[in-house]
Amino acid sequence: MAENMIPTWELGNNPNLYNPQLERNFDLIIMGLDDLTNPLTGTAWDNGKESITISCQNLNEPAETTGTVSHVYQNTEVKFSNGRTTFGDITATVRDLVGADAYGIFKELKRRASNAQTGEAGEPSDYMFNCYVIDRKASTKMINRIRKYSYCFVSEIGGRTHSRDGDNIATFSVTIKTSLMTDESVE
């Protein structure tokens, strides 16, 4: 029987070599917010810096899809890559922390892309940003993986949740459109 076994690379059955990547160890960092101002006050947000780390309850990274070209050959369809990759959306449930005003920041980013009151669309240089999703190793602050998403913008903001039951943190959902993803090196 051993002579007929197919050699395999076991990725999950050796706890001495591998640890699971825990879902809870991640950060979402949005870059390029240094000129973002609060439309209600006309001043910069206290936390409006060059970048901001968002407090997310959960985050779903976008799917990466390669397009196809089909060719009919002898009663079958053969598919080839068309060499074009597209990226889906980042969706997140954001914690609405008192004083941080993440909801206001995302509303302003969305308003810059599409202003519902005036019907105007903004210039891409005013509303597009880059963001990073960082995975951290279990029980440490060491970085495991960094993905950079480029040419992003906020396309949807869900309403805040409210409830008189318990002491749950208020949250809202956000959808971020992405155009390009690159893996950054971790040293």
pLDDT of the residue at 6: 60
The 10s digit of each residue's pLDDT in 9-61 is: 555 566 666 665 555 678 888 887 777 776 666 666 555 566 777 888 888 99
Identify each DSSP E strand in the chain by its residue range.
Answer: 26-31, 51-54, 56-60, 64-73, 76-87, 89-95, 129-136, 143-157, 171-177, 180-184
Q: Residue 2 has what pLDDT? A: 53
State pLDDT tens for residues 30-43.
887 777 776 666 66
Could you please state the CATH topology (level 3) that the domain comprising 22-62+77-184 is classified under.
Pnp Oxidase; Chain A (2.30.110)
Give the integer Cα–Cα distance in Å for 25 and 59. Answer: 11
Cβ–Cβ < 8 Å for 130, 90 = no
The domain ranges of the chain are 22-62+77-184
**pLDDT for position 68:** 92
Q: For tokens 């947000």, what's the residue?
A: 45
pLDDT at 1: 45
Has this prediction a pTM greater than 0.95? no
Could you say which residues of the chain have pLDDT below 50? Answer: 1
pLDDT of residue 108: 87
pLDDT at residue 143, rounded to an integer: 82
CA distances in angstroms from 115 to 23, 42, 96, 121, 156, listed in the order given: 35, 17, 22, 6, 12
